[in-house]
Structure 1
């Protein structure tokens, strides 16, 4: 599948598409505005605005879907790959979180050629956040590749490569097979009682932008 053919159906099915674990929700019809700011107990967290993310990504981004709860786990070709195909879903965040916020931005042209997703999940304590973070890192090691089924029933094959792995940071790439370079660059960080994730999807090298945005997002979280 060429990049051109990938972008065209992306625009057509954007409302219900999930790209390698990004929580896409119906783009044109959010039932109610979800703020970019949350407070859970003593934890303060705020997502980057589209303007802030645009400066770090080096391209103009506009606001898209937001959610205040993780989507359901996605369908993978093997159950061990549930985390790899849906790192921002219930496969990682489960049901013990106390606050959750996700926002997706896309290129200003609306082509879906560039997307940025930010996620913050807050847990009751550091132990529960750490357990969820280990679920993420362990799940990534178990799945080098998988065929993913999206919310509309379409399938695509992805290959996963981890490039950074510490007790508090993990970075990895999800590359779509036969996608002519289309990939999603992920970085997740554990900070206090929170797990943060940033994903940049593009047909190019989105890793530097993902790292910059994740660093800025981490700086906005305190606990």
Structure 2
């Protein structure tokens, strides 16, 4: 019984630290406004909303039940980070990477059915006017990842979190990396970004354990849907 109480206390403390820090991992949904609830909007073919993988598809790929969380139709402002050259690594889905040149953007987060934030999947689609601008944003991302092995990020409430970044050598249009939160019991966010046509798409899976295989599966399916 005592072991169960200690384990429960440990898990609650972990969640208390992890949930506010999802934005600090570059996921960003924690400070983004949520879409209004109500009737589902009409989704027009060929839009970023139509390209997004639905909760059922992502749940199938992740092997766990996920429900829709917040969405945003614009990149969040750059994060407050030290050292300053880590702005891209700390905020890969923010304006630090996507800038202002995009013509369509959507970031959507799905989370565990309990809403605890212990397991989240984030999809980002940024559509640019042409392939050159999409490739330039991808280079900004990969260049930023190489400059930053670790950082300290401060959120809007003044809370700080330390992160370590491990990136694989990027291919021409694909890069994968891990953002591990310091002292968070093996909890980390696994990222993958790809250029497809005029779009820069990203997937991040945040969990305790190895989320890299799930990230790749979701990124494969998302990139296959994106036509822009």
CA-based RMSD of the aligned residues comes to 2.4
Give 2:207's match in structure 1, choosing from 202, 213, 222. 202
Query: In the alignment, what sits opposite 1:87?
Result: 92
Give 1:18's match in structure 2, choosing from 1, 20, 23. 23
Query: Quick one: structure 1 residues 40 and 58, their matched pair in 2 at CA, closer, same or farther if it must change by over 3 Å?
Result: closer
SS state at 1:112 partner: coil
1:70 aligns with 2:75: yes
5+ long unaligned stretches in structure 2: 1-9
The answer to whether the 8 Å contact 2:88/2:96 transfers is yes
Give 1:8's match in structure 2, choosing from 8, 12, 16. 16
Query: In the alignment, what sits opposite 1:30?
Result: 34
CA distance in 2 between partners of 1:26 and 1:176 (Å)? 18
The equivalences for 1:101-180 within 5 A come to 101-180=106-185
Normalised TM-score (structure 2): 0.87
The answer to whether the 8 Å contact 1:36/1:49 transfers is no
CA distance in 1 between partners of 2:186 and 2:157 (Å)? 23
Which structure shows the bigger proportion of residues in helix conformation?
2
Give 2:189's match in structure 1, choosing from 184, 187, 190. 184
Query: Quick one: structure 1 residues 22 and 91, their matched pair in 2 at CA, closer, same or farther if it must change by over 3 Å?
Result: same
SS state at 2:25 partner: coil
Relative contact order (C-alpha < 8 Å, sep 6+): which is higher?
1
- CA shift, 1:35, in A, is 6.0
The answer to whether the 8 Å contact 1:105/1:115 transfers is yes
State the aligned residue count: 217
- Deviation by residue 1:145-169 (Cα, 9 ceiling, x = unmatched): 0011123221010000012511100
Normalised TM-score (structure 1): 0.89
5+ long unaligned stretches in structure 1: none
Give 1:216's match in structure 2, choosing from 206, 213, 221. 221
Query: Quick one: structure 1 residues 77 and 35, their matched pair in 2 at CA, closer, same or farther if it must change by over 3 Å?
Result: farther
CA distance in 2 between partners of 1:198 and 1:85 (Å)? 15
